[in-house]
RNA sequence: GUGAGCGUAGCUCAGUAGGUGGCAGCACCGGGUUGUGGCCUCGGAGGUCGUGGGUUCAAGUCCCAUCGCUCACCCCA
């Protein structure tokens, strides 16, 4: 019985890693343009942190967390809570009132795996802490859009406001009343949700429920003056930045800490997983976790989903692996020298490959082609005996003899210089 | 947690009324080229047909169980 990876946990093989690195590179570059700094937190946190931030009654906390049975410790299911914990713990706001932080790493949720959904998955997460202006919301959303654009991805952006502790609770009561009156027309799930999480009913995909919900009261129409102004200004700021979006008053969040602005980057190309990235404002969270009274906003994007989308929407060429030089040692007598020379080449900074088997030149050239070597140094027994080798340009197929004399570092240096000039067009 | 589909070579897959596992494609190794890659050509290696039972003279094929994977529901990035 072969041992295999556990369900929902996946290897990212070398052929796929190039794409991942590309996405991460673009993200780091763009986040830096917006003044974000990287932060890295532990994967394990006190269970309490997630219960208090994400919410006790949410699905994530209720049934999806990997929690150690006897330790009160949980593998993080998302990044925001950890970032806030670290932010508060180290008093980061004291040095710099507005913090822009991002982190990249694995998250864990015990869900049934399917396309675009794993138990260990990876997120890019960006947070702006300590700034409440609507323009900040727009700026953060624009950053997400910029990343998706530069990755060559086509997604749609949906926007909503979830109000605040002043305007949401009364709305929730109205909604519950409304839903209770139409109890009969709702699906089983939504009847349950009416009491556990009424806002979720707005997001149900069943035709029958959608029909009911169309007539439901809209939170956007009963936002308190502050929330209403905030939402209006976010929208105009987005328009000023040329960001295209649509309003979705049915959009809900699965995590309790969200307030006011929420948004999702959506695609139809990922099967059942529509959201490539999502986020929103969480103005009460930091205080709720025992920190200063600061507002915050952030988003997360799923790396697996970004990678899948890139594969599907656009076959952008990720730079293939390549080596500067392949050293082909012909016959076992030249292997020791070839090994030393390869090592010296690497010390000089060259990407150098070698085969120690002493097998046929044909086989070694084939391997040189496979590793995409720009040059091959053929160390033949006869040539080597008189202090020479043959340098083959794998693209032009032109060959020239090279002298092997002096200390091996010197040989490596002049050889590397030679191929660097020869490789230039 | 619920439902459906699928498990044959490293990968993608054939396998026809149960009758010896495929000249299959890609990849790998070697020959054709006594020391010259990609293309071509010839050959080679590689399998407990997911696992365990059962039916049968005979099971990759039929039956049962079990494990695994995939997709969808739910939920979410």
Q: Per-residue pLDDT tens for A113-139?
A: 999 999 999 999 999 999 999 999 999
> A323-417: what CATH class?
alpha beta
Q: Which of residues 326-385 of A touch strand B (CB under 7 A)?
A: 330, 359-363, 365-370, 378, 380-383
A241-298 pLDDT, tens digit per residue, is 999 999 999 898 878 889 999 999 999 888 888 899 999 999 999 999 999 999 999 9
* CA pair distance A257, A161, nearest whole angstrom: 13
Could you report the predicted ipTM of this complex, rounded to two decimals?
0.88
| Of residues A16, A314, A282, the one with CA closest to residue A155 | A314
Q: Which of residues 254-293 of A touch strand B (CB under 7 A)?
A: 254-255, 264, 271-278
pLDDT value of position A1: 53
The model's confidence at residue A424, banded by pLDDT at 50, 70 and 90, is confident
Asked if A175 CB < 7 A from strand B, the reply is no
Measured from Cα to the C1' atom, the residue closest to B51 is: A1
pLDDT value of position A316: 65
Check whether domain A14-167+223-313 has CATH 3.30.930.10, yes or no: yes
CATH 3.40.50.800-classified regions of chain A: 323-417
Write the CA distances from A115 to A59, A111, A119, A272, A334, integer angstroms.
Answer: 20, 12, 12, 7, 51
- CA–C1' distance A243–B26 (Å)? 45
Does the structure show a pLDDT above 80 at A48?
yes
A196-219 pLDDT, tens digit per residue, is 778 888 888 777 788 888 888 889
Does the structure show a pLDDT above 90 at A311?
no
Q: Which of residues 107-166 of A touch strand B (CB under 7 A)?
A: 109, 111-118, 121, 123
CATH 3.30.930.10-classified regions of chain A: 14-167+223-313
A365-387 pLDDT, tens digit per residue, is 999 999 999 999 999 999 999 99
- CA–C1' distance A66–B60 (Å)? 40
CB A134 within 8 A of CB A234: yes
- CA–C1' distance A354–B46 (Å)? 26
Q: What is the pTM of this model?
A: 0.92
The model's confidence at residue A317, banded by pLDDT at 50, 70 and 90, is low
* CA pair distance A318, A321, nearest whole angstrom: 9
């Amino acid at each position: 019985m072969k041992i295999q990876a556990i369900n929902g946990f996946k290897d990212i093989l070398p052929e796929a890693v190039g794409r991942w690195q590309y996405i991460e590179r673009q993200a780091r570059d763009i986040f830096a343009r917006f003044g974000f700094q990287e932060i890295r937190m532990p994967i394990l946190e006190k269970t309490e942190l997630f219960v208090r931030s994400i919410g006790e009654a949410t699905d994530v906390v209720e049934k999806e967390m990997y929690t150690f049975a006897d330790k009160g410790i949980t593998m993080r299911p998302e990044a925001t809570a950890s970032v806030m914990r670290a932010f508060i713990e180290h008093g980061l706001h004291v040095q710099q009132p507005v913090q822009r932080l991002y982190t990249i790493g694995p998250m864990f949720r015990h869900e049934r795996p399917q396309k675009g959904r794993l138990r260990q998955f990876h997120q890019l997460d960006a947070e702006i802490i300590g700034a409440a202006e609507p323009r900040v919301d727009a700026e953060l959303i624009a950053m997400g859009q910029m990343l998706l654009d530069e990755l060559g991805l086509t997604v749609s952006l949906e926007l909503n406001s979830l109000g605040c502790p002043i305007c949401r609770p009364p709305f929730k009561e109205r909604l519950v009343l409304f839903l209770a009156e139409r109890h009969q027309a709702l699906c089983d799930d939504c009847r349950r949700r009416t009491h556990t999480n009424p806002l979720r009913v707005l997001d149900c995909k069943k035709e029958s429920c959608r029909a009911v919900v169309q007539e439901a009261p809209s939170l956007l129409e009963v936002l308190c003056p502050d929330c209403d102004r905030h939402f209006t200004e976010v929208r105009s700021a987005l328009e000023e930045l040329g960001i295209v979006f649509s309003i979705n008053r049915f959009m809900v969040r699965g995590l309790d800490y969200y307030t006011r602005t929420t948004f999702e980057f959506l695609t139809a190309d990922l099967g059942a997983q529509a959201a490539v990235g999502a986020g929103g404002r969480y103005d009460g969270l930091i205080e709720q976790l025992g920190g200063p009274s600061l507002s915050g906003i952030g988003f997360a994007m799923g790396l697996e989903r970004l990678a899948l989308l890139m594969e599907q929407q656009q076959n952008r060429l990720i730079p293939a692996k390549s080596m500067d030089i392949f050293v082909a040692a012909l016959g076992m007598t030249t292997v020791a020298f070839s090994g030393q020379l390869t090592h010296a080449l690497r010390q000089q900074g060259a990407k150098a490959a070698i085969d120690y088997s002493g097998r046929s030149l044909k086989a070694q050239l084939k391997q040189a082609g496979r590793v995409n070597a720009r040059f091959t140094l053929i160390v033949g027994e006869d040539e080597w005996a008189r202090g020479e080798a043959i340098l083959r340009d794998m693209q032009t197929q032109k060959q020239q003899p090279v002298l092997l004399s002096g200390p091996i570092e010197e040989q490596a240096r002049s050889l590397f210089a030679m191929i660097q000039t020869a490789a230039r067009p």
